[in-house]
Structure 1
């Protein structure tokens, strides 16, 4: 183990070359894995897929919201219920107004009755005193 740590000793020789230099002394050239036709075809398919996705996105963005249409239209039964509710509310308002009118006239009549009772008591007191 101590021999591995000492510099200067060349233990890793393989056929006259140091192990680290074997890879760097060879020449390499990149070669395409797929043919030119396959690469052009894949490129064309990717372009077509991108254009289709863009067209679908534009179509979805430009299309009006279909779900909003039917919810704005009220069904006939709903209109009938609204009319019945409006009639009932109008009847309640009329009844409240008539009750207020009757209450006001009852209060006015109560005041008139008290005034007349006071006059009757006064007149009765006057007629007794005269006798």
Structure 2
């Protein structure tokens, strides 16, 4: 085992979420789009932050192999909470690498999707679209 973290939430989507080590605590709130006040954070936002960061690290690990300076890569993760027929998630990862060949970036993105822990966790569980911009 390399790393373990724990978080605890009280009050669900309208409560408070905190890391057990006290390093981060957030007010949670149902988004306005779902009838809430929207005056806090929600799980989809946190998932988007984590996935974009994790995927960016996968790009950094593989960038040299693909001849790409992944230090300048920008990863945007758009997470959608779908409410049709029950609740489910979908995501789109938008990757840009200024000055890099788009075909090389596409190959890098596809390989990063095979090593990123978030990509592995979502594989077969939710749709994830990869877009090179």
Q: What TM-score do the two structures reach when normalised by structure 2?
A: 0.20
Q: Larger C-alpha radius of gyration, 1 or 2?
A: 1
**Greater fraction helix:** 1
Q: What TM-score do the two structures reach when normalised by structure 1?
A: 0.21
